[in-house]
Every structure is written in C-alpha cells, then in structure tokens.
Amino acid sequence: MNLKKYLVRALHRLQKGPGYTYKELLVWYCDNTNTHGPKRIIKEGPKKKLMWFFLTLLFASLVFWQWGILINTYLSYSVTSSLSIGFKTMKFPAVTVCNANPFKYSEVKPLLKELDRLIEAALERILQPTPGNSSDNTSLSLDLELWNQIPLVLIDEHDKDNPIILDIFETNQTAVGNETATGNETKKHYKLAVKLCSHPGSDNCTYRNFSSAAQAVTEWYILQSTSILSKVPLHERIRMGYQAEDMILACLYGAEPCNYKNFTQIYHPDHGNCYIFNWGMDEEALNSSNPGAEFGLKLILDISQQDYIPYLSSAAGARLMLHQQKSFPFLKDQGIYAMAGTETSIGVLVDELERMGYPYSDCTMNGSDVPVRNLYSQYNTSYSIQACLRSCFQNHMVEICGCGHYMFPLPEGVNYCNNEDNPGWAYCYFSLRSSIKQRQICIDSCKETCNDTQYKMTISMADWPSEASEDWIFHILSYERDMSTNVTLDRTGVIKLNIYFQEYNYRTISESAATTIVWLLSSLGGQFGFWMGGSVLCLIEFGEIIIDSLWITIIHVISWCKGLKQRRARARYPDAPPTVSELVEAHTNPGFQPEAMGAVSQPEALPPEPGTPPPNYDSLRVQPLGPDSDAD
C-alpha cells in the first residue's frame, strides 16, 4: 500500500513536465532551449516563424549530415606522418659478413668428388659431342646411380613441336653422336634441362629447361649437393666452413681494436659460417656518436677464392649485411656484395619507420599474432617478415613433401630432404616453389612489423691495396695469420670494408593518429555550435523533451483507452453516463449498483458513508489521469 502510494506520487512528479499538451511542451522547449534556431521560431512573427522553422530544420539536418561525415572520418583511423632527420648517437648496426662460397672446397671435396666427376664428364659430352673423344672407361667409373636420381637431359628443339629428349649418359652413344653430328649447324637448338620425377622410374616427370646451359648446370649441382650436404651433421658443416680466424684478418671499431673474437658465429645455410659483429643479444649494442669513416668499423677479410667450390657459386666476394641487433640476417634478400681486391666504403643512414598498430595499420608488433610458427626463433632472433615467409614455406614443405628443405631451419622431429630417403623431393620442392597459390597463402598470413628499420647504404669502391703498398700489406697479414714469412694472400682474396655513419645518420618517419577522440568531440561540437549554437546540454534538453512528450503520449493513450472503455460501457448502457450525483446515489442505494464501477480504476475507493457529500477525488472524474486534474 505504501509502495503503491509512493509509486503514484513518483508518477505524478514525473509527469509534471513543462506542459500537458504537445504544443505547450514545444513552445516551452523552443523558448527555453539554448540552441539558437527554435528561439527564433517562437519570437518572430507568423511569416518569419515559418522561415525560421525551415531554417532550423535545415540546420539540424546539416548538423547530422556533417556529424555522420566526421564519425566516418574518425572510424577510418587515418594517420599522419612526421619526419625527423639529423644526427644523434645511434646504436651501430649488427654487421654480418659471410663468404659467398659456403664451404672450403678442400674440406668438402671427399663428399662432392663423385658429383664433380659426373658433371665434368657430362660437360665433356655436351661440349665435345664427337663420339670418338669420350672414353668408355670414364663413364664406367661414374656413379650413375647418383646421376639417375636427378639427371640432366639434352632437349633437341630442332623440331619445335616434337622435341627429342636425349639422356647424356645414354648407352647407345652412337645415336646421340649421329644426332649431333648431323645437326651441327643447328647446335643452337639444343637445350639442357633437369629431369625431375615424382618417383624414380615413374612417368610423372617434369623437365625444368633453361635458356642457358650454365644455369642448368648450376641448378643441378645445387640440387645434388643439397641432397648430399643435408646428411652431414651441423658441427661437421661448421667445421668445413670458413673459420673466423682465417677469414677476419683485421678489425678496428673507431679507435678500439677488435678481433675475430668479437664476432658471433652463426651457421647460414646459404653461405656457411657467417660472423656477426655487434650482435647485441646478451651484451649492450655499441653506440656510435660520431659520423665519418674514422669512427666506424674497419675490417680486412680474406675470402680465399682459390678454395671455392667451382660449380656451386660462380660469383666471388664477401657477402655482408647490416641489420638490427635482434634480427636474423637474410643475406639473399638484403645482403650486398663486396668485391675482392677492393676497399668498399659503406656510409649508413638509418631509415626508420614507426607505425601504429591495429586499427591504424595492419602490422604486428612482435609477431605473436601471426598464425605462422616462426622457425627462426631457434636462432634467438626476433620476428621479421622474411622469417615468417620462410617459415611458412618450410611448414608447407614439411606438410606436403614430408621433409624439410636444407636452406631453411627445421621444425622439431623432421629431417632434411635427401635423395635416398625422399626420392621425389626435388620434384615436390619445385612444384611447391612455383605454385602461386602457396606464395599467396604465405603473403596473406604474414604481416610486416610495425617498426621497420632499413639501413640505407651509400656504397663506393676503390682498388685496395694499391700497387705500392701491396707488398708490405700482404706480408704483414700473412705473417699475422699463418706466422710465416711467406706471402699466403693475394689480390683475389683480400677485401677491405669501412662501415660508418653518414653525417645525417637517421631519418625517422613516425605515425600519429590523424583523428583522436578529442578531435572528434571538438569537431562535433564545432559543427553543432556553428549551425545551431548547441552543446551537449542541448542534446540532453532535447532528450528531456522527448521523455516529456513520451509521457504526454502515455497519458493520452491511457486516457484514450479510458475513453474507449467508457464508450464501450456507454454503448452497453445507451443512456447518458451516470453523473456524480447518480453515482453517489448509487453508492448510497445498494440496490442501484452499476456494473461499470469496475471500469473506473478506483478499486480501493471504498463506498463512502451514506449521506456524506461526494468526496472530492479527482479520480472520480471522467479522466482520472488527465491533464486537467493537475491543471487545477
């Protein structure tokens, strides 16, 4: 009962709005609101009223339209970039130096001996196709099993539509000989191709043909040597590569001497042993606070070109790369060459790009949200897009071919591919490598890092050592390395490198959000203020008015319902509705009790004592909740 009373009172209080009809409410609102338009509607004469009404509507719609645009702009999360350029103390980049050739030929010769003999014999056949010259006893001693795993074939494209495929070590040599002898002037039509089969002896074969025999030979050699070397354990491969003390002859960082012990060894599948200077994994990275070659890193390297594997890498030089302290050096992508017998000076400019992550741009901070398992994390390196792409490829390779490719790190429990265990691996590898779908999957699943650092290099070269200084330099370097007075170095092996910061050593492009929430609010406020002079409070006012009008609607609806019921009641009792006095009479006269009594929402109204004057309940009037009751 108490609660009900309270509720009724609350209801009354709530409904006590600024007016009881829509018109009153509107007039009250227009007169008292802080937005500028409505006031004018009220205050002007009838004709101007109309004009102001339309103007207000127009402005209101303009405001909403512009708000829409602003919110859209905000949600597009655009960014602005700012550029800063200058010189400051910077971390010296990590410098990876490798030899272009992965292993010392003198060390791997026992492993590759068969292969070299095969390719030499094959070249002999191809280049000098006169049958008398090729001796049978050499071909007998060749390891033809190795050859047949991935053979090289000659394709005769003399007849374009019907190419003839010739095996180089075919038993019926006379046929080959005749063929070439007759087509001597059309020798150009011969092409060398690598035959790849999904299984040994199966017909499911493809021919990878090359426009040049040189490429075919290199490709074939890489495939075969990969298969052989993948069976060699890692420590053995490291032993076969170039050792730091043989390769790094002199080192100077700024004014401080350094030696090969300052370099971290890392095994790189492409280039064998690589050595990284300033690899800041455990210790602090070196800083450089001065521009110029005097304050940079100076290295003298020996690549011992005589000890190169002849068929594996035809380019001679050192491969080097500047990179961030925690990233893996991807020399094939970002590396540069340094030529033997020259001094290469590299001026460095650090080009940094700092981006904001989601939702401003689609990049990843540390690679944790990328769905590819990063295989390079076993080198204790951070995420990079190259690492992601290679890991993605290797994962596909393991999935489809059942073994891992030699050039990429292995997932756990998987072995590298080789010809014995996985005879069809080369076929599988090439079909995977050339599949555009696979590449697209990897591109789609990998994301670039948000903070991208590039080292822009200005490379210049000069001959080194000069003719006049050649003698004593080689003498000293040989003495230091081999403790002998004989000169063991020559022009074809030594490389001098200078790596230093340029006068302007950094260029940073950093992003900032073009639209912040503050920007959005002030723009929204500006728009609203510009057209209508409104603020948030005006919106609240408007909301209030809507609540009020809702109330009025409710009241109207209720009264309408009441009216309907009464009308129905009236329809049932076609005479006039009972007046108050009638009702009073009815109450006093128990024999005259109208049934419509229940329709009046006064169940608790007890019948008054007989003879008393009718109570002054408002509710007894026709509209118990009507606006008139309070207007009184």
Partner 1 sequence: AARAPGKKITARLKRTLPVRGPQAPTVSELMRWYCLNTNTHGCRRIVVSRGRLRRLIWIVLTLSAVGLILWQCAELVMNYYSASVSVTVQFQKLPFPAVTICNINPYKYSAMKEYLSELDKETKKALETFYGFSEGKSKVRRSVDDWNSTGSDFFQQIPLLKVEDLSRTATELHSGQKRKIEGRIFHKDSSIVNSADSNDIIGFQLCDANNSSECALYTFSSGVNAIQEWYKLHYMNIMAQIPLETKEKLSYSADDLLLTCFFDGLSCDKRHFTRFHHPLHGNCYTFNSGENGTILSTSTGGSEYGLQVVLYIDEADYNPFLVTSSGAKIIIHDQKEYPFVEDIGTEIETAAVTSIGMHFTQSRKLSKPYSDCTETGADIPVENLYNKSYSLQICLHSCFQKAMVDSCGCAQYAQPLPAGAEYCNYKKNPNWMYCYYRLHEKFVKEQLGCQQICKDACSFKEWTLTTSIAQWPSIVSEDWMLRVLSWDKGQKLNKKLNKTDLANLMVFYKDLNERFISENPANTIVILLSNFGGQLGLWMSCSVVCVIEIVEVFFIDSLSIIMRRQWQRAKKWWHGRQQGGSGTAPQASDVESQGHDNPVCIDEDLPTFTTALCLPLPQDRPLPRTPPPNYSTLRLETAFTEQLPDTLELGRH
Q: Which stretch binds partner 1 (CB under 8 A): 234-242, 420-428, 438-446, 550-558?
A: 438-446
Site of tokens 């790596």: 499
Return the number of other C-beta atoms located less than 10 Å from residue 62's C-beta.
14
Instruction: Yes or no: say if 229 and 456 are a contact pair by the CB < 8 Å rule.
Output: no
Site for partner 1 in 362-401 (CB under 8 A): 363, 385-386, 389
Interface residue with partner 1, options 94, 95, 286, 340 (CB under 8 A):
340
Give the nearer residue to partner 1 in terms of CB position, either 289 or 440: 440
CA distance 534 to 206: 75
Give the nearer residue to partner 1 in terms of CB position, either 89 or 434: 434
Six token digits for residue 315: 């380019």
Site for partner 1 in 535-594 (CB under 8 A): none
CA distance 72 to 526: 16
Interface residue with partner 1, options 131, 183, 529, 627 (CB under 8 A):
529
Site for partner 1 in 130-169 (CB under 8 A): none
Residue 605 within binding range of partner 1, rule CB under 8 A: no
Site for partner 1 in 245-274 (CB under 8 A): none
Q: Which stretch binds partner 1 (CB under 8 A): 66-74, 168-176, 593-601, 611-619?
A: 66-74
Give the nearer residue to partner 1 in terms of CB position, either 45 or 132: 45
Residue 414, classed as helix, strand or coil, is coil
Interface residue with partner 1, options 9, 12, 16, 43 (CB under 8 A):
43
CA 144 to chain centre: 47
Give the nearer residue to partner 1 in terms of CB position, either 447 or 562: 447
Q: Count residues near partner 1 (CB under 8 A).
A: 104
Six token digits for residue 16: 């006590």
Q: Give the nearest distance from C-beta 47 to partner 1 in angstroms.
A: 7
Instruction: Yes or no: say if 455 and 351 are a contact pair by the CB < 8 Å rule.
Output: yes
Return the number of other C-beta atoms located less than 10 Å from residue 58's C-beta.
12
Write out the DSSP string of 29-91.
Answer: HHHH-SSHHHHHHHHS-HHHHHHHHHHHHHHHHHHHHHHHHHHHHHHTT-EEEEEEEE---EE
Give the nearer residue to partner 1 in terms of CB position, either 12 or 456: 456
Give the nearer residue to partner 1 in terms of CB position, either 36 or 117: 36
Q: Which stretch binds partner 1 (CB under 8 A): 142-150, 260-268, 436-444, 605-613?
A: 436-444
Residue 36 within binding range of partner 1, rule CB under 8 A: yes
Give the nearer residue to partner 1 in terms of CB position, either 262 or 304: 304
Q: Give the nearest distance from C-beta 549 to partner 1 in angstroms.
A: 17
E strand spans, 151-303: 152-156, 164-167, 190-197, 205-209, 248-253, 256-258, 263-268, 272-277, 287-288, 297-302
Interface residue with partner 1, options 17, 37, 272, 404 (CB under 8 A):
37
Interface residue with partner 1, options 128, 174, 204, 469 (CB under 8 A):
128
Q: Which residues pair with 462 in a beta bridge?
A: 343
Residue 187 within binding range of partner 1, rule CB under 8 A: yes
The angle at the Cα of 285, spanning 102 to 378, to the nearest 5 degrees, equals 50
Nearest alpha carbon to residue 166 among 151, 174, 156: 156
Residue 507 within binding range of partner 1, rule CB under 8 A: no
Residue 89 within binding range of partner 1, rule CB under 8 A: no
Residue 214 within binding range of partner 1, rule CB under 8 A: yes
CA 231 to chain centre: 35
Write out the DSSP string of 357-371.
Answer: -TTTSS-BSSSTT-S
Residue 469 within binding range of partner 1, rule CB under 8 A: no
Give the nearer residue to partner 1 in terms of CB position, either 37 or 562: 37
Q: Give the nearest distance from C-beta 116 to partner 1 in angstroms.
A: 10
Instruction: Yes or no: say if 338 and 445 are a contact pair by the CB < 8 Å rule.
Output: no
Nearest alpha carbon to residue 151 among 174, 177, 125, 132: 125
Site for partner 1 in 406-435 (CB under 8 A): 433-434
Q: Is the dihedral of CA 492, 264, 244, 388 positive or negative?
A: negative
Q: Give the nearest distance from C-beta 231 to partner 1 in angstroms.
A: 23
Interface residue with partner 1, options 514, 558, 586, 605 (CB under 8 A):
514
Give the nearer residue to partner 1 in terms of CB position, either 276 or 497: 497
Residue 459 within binding range of partner 1, rule CB under 8 A: yes
Q: Which stretch binds partner 1 (CB under 8 A): 99-107, 227-235, 416-424, 614-622?
A: 99-107
Q: Which residues pair with 94 in a beta bridge?
A: 323
Residue 501 within binding range of partner 1, rule CB under 8 A: no
Interface residue with partner 1, options 176, 372, 457, 600 (CB under 8 A):
457
Interface residue with partner 1, options 6, 7, 14, 31 (CB under 8 A):
31
Interface residue with partner 1, options 170, 294, 333, 585 (CB under 8 A):
333
Interface residue with partner 1, options 308, 406, 416, 425 (CB under 8 A):
308
Interface residue with partner 1, options 15, 44, 166, 559 (CB under 8 A):
44
Residue 242 within binding range of partner 1, rule CB under 8 A: no
Give the nearer residue to partner 1 in terms of CB position, either 479 or 519: 519
Q: What are phi and psi of 102, to 5 degrees?
A: -75, -40
Who contacts 236 (Cβ-Cβ below 8 Å, separation ≥6)? none
Omega before 614 within 30 of 0, i.e. cis: no
Residue 620 within binding range of partner 1, rule CB under 8 A: no
Instruction: Yes or no: say if 135 and 125 are a contact pair by the CB < 8 Å rule.
Output: no
CA distance 203 to 92: 56
